[in-house]
Chains A and B, each alone.
Chain A
Amino acid sequence: MRFPMRSLGIVLTSALALTACSSTSDDSTESSGAASCAPSSGPVTLNFTSWIPGIETVVKAWNDKNPDIQVTVQTGPNGNGGTYQNFFNQLKAGNAPDLGQIEYDALPSFRVQDGLTNLADCTEVTAAKDQFVDWTWGQVTFGEENSVYGIPQDAGPMALFYRKDLFEKNGIAIPTTWDEYAAAAEKVKAAGGYITNFSQSDINQFAGLAWQAGGRWFANDGSQWTVNLQDEGTTKVANYWQGLLDKKLVSTVPPWTTEWDNAYNKGNAWTWVSAVWGANSISSGAPDTSGKWAVAPMPQWTAGGTSAGNWGGSSTAVFKGSKHPYEAAKFALWLNTDQEALTLLNKEANLYPATKSGATLPALSEGVEFYGGQKIYDVFATASTQVAADFVWGPTMTSTYATASDGFKAAVSGSGTLADALKTTQTATIDTLKSQSIPVAE
């Protein structure tokens, strides 16, 4: 009669022993220094995980031409929707795919978890450096010598989308500085609209604005991290938007909802300072406003300035444990530099290439009907060259975003200010780094 319990016990203990082994076995790989980058002998198959819509089509184009390096692609929810979590789990279990899509702001998290292969020894990779827009290369190298932790894929240089018709009808000049933008906001309000919608929960837009204003949130000197969420540039941006919020000159609809689409579709919001991919968000979210939009450079902090921010963009990284880093790097390079691949990525998913020559893709040099025939991508091509190359993301961005977004939401609902939110985020981020025993300056 004691049998069932005992056998259960045996199963349990033996199984526990199993996981006990698994959790200690994977810590042997070295993390410092670049991995050797030698070609494998014979045909190889690579696994690649990405959430880009239509990525299968692009990969098929590669597979048709490279019978010896076949790529199997897997898709799923976007990074923060679960795919990053899956990558972390897979890294822990030692069965990560060879390649994965990782946004720039998540690269440091993966590097801290020792999840990425340094491709600096792959000569093709280092030779490709000049093909990429400077700041995108800075994102994948962390500004360090002898390290390349991914191949830049796409970029999100920012500019000002505005309702040309409404600005003209009301005789409001297109703002070129943030002061003019605030003044225009008053006039727009008087005309019954909002100049824009403040993104309370998507902190990446704010990051792009801070990036433009000279904010540098993180720094890493090799021995420890510093967190500067309250630096001069960032504080300036926070106070500026707090002013607009206080005067109720901007709406605060949660971003990426139907409600938000509606605010643009019905003409309640007149501008959007957004990235290049925003062009598609507007055209599909606000179909009734076709032909009424135009694009201008981002407003500047000083008259005549030429500085732009970036919002979004991702890289293709090779994970630790890939047995074929050479082939993986070769595929990643093709995916992100070959004109055919870039054309397909742009067609399928509106990706804006991170390469310098990408700006000359036929699809990106034509006038766009939704924007009254304006060659809008010219504006973004210029903006892309104006993004500062030394912006560094921290190693625990999910947590930083979460705290900042909690604080911003509170500020929008009237409790606290954006500056308060930054202060809380600064402390919380340092705490998170410490709880991961990542060295950080107090």
Chain B
Amino acid sequence: MKGIRESLFSRAGATAVMLLCTLYFLVPIWWLLVGASKSRSQFSSTEPLWFADFHLGDNLSELFAYRDGVFLRWMGNSILYTGGAALLGTILAAMCGYALAKYRFPGREALFNLVLGGVLVPATALALPLFLIFSQLNATNTFWSVFLPSLVNPFGVYLARIYATASVPDELLEAARLDGSGEVRTFFTISAKLMFPALVTIFLFHFVAVWNNFLLPLIMLGNERLFPVTLGLYSWNTQVNQIPELRMLVIVGALISILPLIVAFLFLQRFWRSGLGAGSVK
């Protein structure tokens, strides 16, 4: 009797906390959605959390048509930069983290600390030197000048090392070696599968980090057609003084720019859950 009442109480309390937090997290997003659906003059003159005349269609077509549809191009670029860099970057980080977890070699800890140290350096400090390096190679203002540095994710190496230590048993590797499987093959056929849920997590974090990055593209890129969407929105936002019409486009563009991430999350969540289930059996 006491147990049931307690659990009812617990459930109600827990649900209340969750709902309250949901409200906190989603109200600003709701505001963005509502704001994006309004005309420019109604944006500041009507109830911010409820729809006025529904203008989303017009706003979207204006956004997509502005300057020969440069916004859609930015979205495409972002998906390319982000998807590619996150995928490749995750594999690279996983391999390195795995090696750090599963092999003993001189300088291992030093290397690991060096990689971790990379996280500490402010991005503003790296910007100019990176630009100079790419200038040496005559490669600024290219896809690669943004893509290549985006591949490096020291945080991913850290996570991969932790997860590899936890989820790949040494005995399994020994067994694979006895079977005559090469180290690299073992990694791709056995270890990577065991680490899969972790890899999805690393991928997700890497994806979001690259998606949000605008400092690096800002410095590297001069050609507007190569911009990712964050830099595009940022540069519109700096021109609001001269062209106030852009403000509405920034709001609508911001809303659209969140969508691919939500899709990616929903899609990955499925892998993540099933992968985690498989991983926890051990």
Contacts and interface: CB of A to CB of B under 8 A. Distances in A.
Interface of A: 1-2, 4-5, 8, 15, 18-19, 22-23, 49, 51, 53, 74-78, 80-82, 85-86, 89-90, 92-95, 97, 256, 258, 261-262, 265, 277, 280-281, 284-285, 287-288, 349-350
B218 A5 contact: no
Given A1-B106, A97-B222, A78 B247 contact: no
A261 B244 CA distance: 9
Contact of A285 (B136, B141, B222, B244): B244
Interface stretch (B193-201, B203-211, B234-242): B234-242
B221 to A, nearest CB: 8
Contact of A261 (B44, B105, B221): B44
Q: How large is the interface on B (under 10, 10 to 19, 20 to 34, 35 or more residues)?
A: 35 or more
A281 B41 CA distance: 14
A406 to B, nearest CB: 19
A76 B140 CA distance: 15
Nearest to A78: B238
A90 B136 CA distance: 11
B182 interface: no
25 contacts: A1-B106, A4-B107, A5-B106, A5-B107, A49-B222, A53-B243, A77-B234, A77-B235, A81-B234, A82-B219, A82-B235, A89-B131, A89-B219, A93-B135, A94-B135, A95-B140, A261-B244, A262-B44, A265-B44, A280-B242, A284-B244, A287-B40, A287-B41, A288-B41, A350-B242
A78 B237 CA distance: 9
B235 A19 contact: no
Contacts of A81: 234-235, 238-239
B135 A349 contact: no
Contacts of A256: 240-241
B248 to A, nearest CB: 10
A168 to B, nearest CB: 25
Q: Ordered nearest first, which 7 A-B pairs have the shortest CB separation?
A: A81-B238, A93-B135, A77-B235, A74-B222, A284-B244, A77-B238, A5-B107
B136 A22 contact: yes
A258 B131 contact: no
A350 B241 CA distance: 12
B76 to A, nearest CB: 18
A265 B44 CA distance: 10
Interface string B228-272: 000100110011111111010000000000000000000000000
B122 to A, nearest CB: 15
Contacts, number: 109
Interface in B129-153: 129, 131-133, 135-136, 138, 140-141
A22 B45 CA distance: 55
Contacts of A284: 243-245
B41 A4 contact: no
Interface string B100-144: 000001110011000000000000000011011101101011000
B245 A82 contact: no
B155 interface: no
Residue of B128, B219, B239 with highest tally of chain A CB at under 10 A: B239
A86 B145 CA distance: 14
A350 to B, nearest CB: 7
A77 B218 contact: yes
Contacts of B239: 51, 53, 77-78, 81
A258 B241 contact: no
A256 B241 CA distance: 6
Contacts of A86: 218-219, 222
Contacts of B221: 76
Contacts of A94: 135
B50 to A, nearest CB: 18
B174 interface: no
Contacts of A280: 242, 244
B93 to A, nearest CB: 16
B235 A2 contact: no
A274 to B, nearest CB: 11
Given A76-B224, A78-B235, A284-B245, 4 more contacts: A77-B235, A85-B219, A90-B131, A95-B138
A19 B107 contact: no
A209 B82 CA distance: 47
A86 B128 CA distance: 9
Contacts of A89: 128, 131-132, 219
